[in-house]
Homo-oligomer: A and B are copies of this chain.
């Protein structure tokens, strides 16, 4: 695991290329560190000046008496390698290179960056950048950046760690955090990522005591293994991660590539990675910060339950208390969309409310009506009753313009304090207009306040999920069964594809249900096999030279009897011979025609960034038209496989579709798990494994066709050498 302590908690900081002019790139860090209260030692390094901005300077790092923890390097690109060698001689532990002109310029810059990274690695120097905006530790007042943005004021010190590949995004995010008074622990921009990646920073923040929530901005990821390790660390630490991953559309990905040349990857695969590790994804800046606010300030519900629509997700029953029926309906719409249960008010408090306001609605939303203007205590009583009821995991109250009105505010304060002192009340969330002071009073108690009612309801869902994830982090992870636990037959080295017969044999040996089948070398054998299986059968050419066998007449379906089987065998044999260059003929696959009422497709393929990815969906025309394929990292957990069946709507074919018998979706999910395990067991050799169709029958799913392609040799593991792709 990368150690960022020298970068983020340095006691001595050298500024190489320090400028006497505080607003220059080399002057700004000296200015920020001096003016904003950094308590450690600042050592400006300046070729000629003996003093820089009032601090004693040294001419080179060689003149420094101790090793620096951190060196900030603000030199032209031509002086960078020399600077790195100085750092090595000094024993510096970490370096921030602001310098641009490296891989982002292409050509020679790529080689230069590779050399810089190699030097850093050889001397054990943690490298941030080059071409980055630097880093900050708010608590310890470390400002290793040339951005002037901290001069405009600092956000409060808090528990949100923010990491951004982009410097400009990072600076804007800092300004927004300051404006929203979102408490930050650390702020890091990674730039060209010759050394530290966004993933490394996430992993370090996951172990940092000062950080409870991690916000990350990604354009692309070149090392899926590192990102997965980082997200796993955050999950294990029970720290929610909010990610904005841009380049989700074609235009965005195109400009992400031109901008950073990051390997954009397929967005659905990123989503599968995020789902695997419980990452909260935000599509807009507004959502990015809102999630940071909710997760760092909000109380998590003490109870939650699996979502009815999506059991892998956790939800909590919520009481919606409102003074406006209309806004109540808006909130109910949102709660239903998020699958939050809305149990009615318990009978006791409901009766009390009705006796106070006869026209109040005690269903959920609980509508105390505009009558609250005359009887404000009724609203408070309803909130208190809901918060104390075991029926609810959270309470959202909409109070229109009056969250902070003088008629209700003192009572509301009492209610919040009393409830929270009890220790057992459900978390409270408010929406409506309130001035900043009152909002902050609520927030200080963990009672969130929103202007937008739908955001308050969304926050309930976010906090329920975070609570469930934190609890799961404490428990041992129900990992996907180790791939090794499945007896997977060997595939001989050098193989690049299995014939359909070999693929079916191999799948069957892996415990995956396949149509009954055999390989016939001659017509007699074809009839024998077909007689054993029972008619009708399919007869298909087996030749290592012919990929698209149906194009050459190599497939005959619905073969009804022995005579037809002989004719079909002759036909596929002739097809091999009549192929442009005569093809090898290994025989014919004879397989039972499986009858069912639907087709699934299941596959595993290698993603260049994240490795093996499983996909599943409804096969046939539907998958082409509706494109609802679901993804998951292979090997799959059982829960993930269930989620994929649900997300792709494949489950609809299993649950009594059109009067067909319902079949066990858990057993089908288990088939997906096995397919993914079998693929994973082949390791880096596997290229593609596809079962299409996987026919849905009353006795479960059965593979009727299979494709397996392999690399003759395992491809190189991803290495971290800089290439053109590392520019940004």
A residues with CB within 8 A of B: 100, 104-105, 133, 149, 152, 164-169, 171-172, 175-176, 179, 217, 219, 244, 246-252, 254-256, 258-260, 283-286, 323-330, 332-333, 335-337, 342, 359, 361, 363-365, 367, 370, 400-401, 432-433, 451-455, 598, 618, 621-622, 624-626, 628, 649, 652-653, 657-658, 728
Determine the chain B residues whose CB is within 8 A of the CB of A149 once the complex forms. Answer: 401
Q: Which of B283, B359, B455 contacts A104 (CB 8 A)?
A: B359
Whole-angstrom distance between the Cβ of A322 and the nearest chain B Cβ: 8
Instruction: Please indicate which of the listed interface residues A164, A175, A332 has the most CB atoms of chain B within 10 Å of its own CB.
Output: A332
Are A168's CB and B332's CB within 8 A? Answer: no
**Could you pull out 30 A-B pairs where Cβ atoms are within 8 angstroms?**
A100-B359, A133-B370, A165-B326, A166-B325, A168-B327, A168-B370, A169-B324, A171-B401, A172-B401, A172-B433, A175-B400, A176-B433, A244-B330, A246-B333, A248-B333, A249-B332, A249-B333, A255-B361, A255-B364, A256-B329, A259-B367, A283-B333, A285-B327, A286-B454, A618-B625, A621-B622, A621-B653, A625-B652, A626-B626, A626-B628
The answer to whether A258 touches B363, judged by C-beta atoms less than 8 angstroms apart, is: yes
CA distance A260 to B328 in the complex (A): 12
What is the copy number of this chain in the assembly? 2
The reply to whether A453 and B285 contact each other, CB–CB distance below 8 Å, is yes
Contacts of A451 in B (CB 8 A): 176, 285-286
A260 to B251: give the CA distance in the assembly, Å.
45
Alpha-carbon distance A624/B622, docked complex (angstroms) = 11
Nearest B residue (CB) for A248 = B333
- Once bound together, how far apart are the Cα atoms of A256 and B333, in whole Å? 10
Within the complex, what minimum Cβ distance (angstroms) separates A102 from chain B?
12
A345 CB to closest chain B CB, in angstroms? 13
CA distance A628 to B627 in the complex (A): 12
Contacts of A105 in B (CB 8 A): 359
Question: Please, which residues of chain B bring their CB within 8 A of the CB of A175?
Answer: 400-401, 433
Interchain CA distance A87-B329 in the complex, whole Å: 36
Q: Determine the chain B residues whose CB is within 8 A of the CB of A284 once the complex forms.
A: 330, 452-455
Chain B residues whose CB sits within 8 angstroms of the CB of A169 once the complex forms: 324, 326-327
Most B CB within 10 A of own CB, among A165, A256, A728:
A256
CB of B325 within 8 A of CB of A285, answer no
CA distance A493 to B498 in the complex (A): 68
Cross-chain contact A332 with B252 (CB below 8 angstroms): yes
A363 to B332, CA, bound (A): 44
Task: Tell me whether B176 and A259 are in contact (CB under 8 A).
Answer: no
Closest to A325 in B: B259
| Contact in complex: B256, A621 (CB < 8 Å) | no
A618 to B620, CA, bound (A): 14
What are the nearest 8 A-B pairs in CB distance? A168-B324, A166-B326, A252-B333, A169-B326, A251-B336, A259-B325, A249-B336, A246-B329
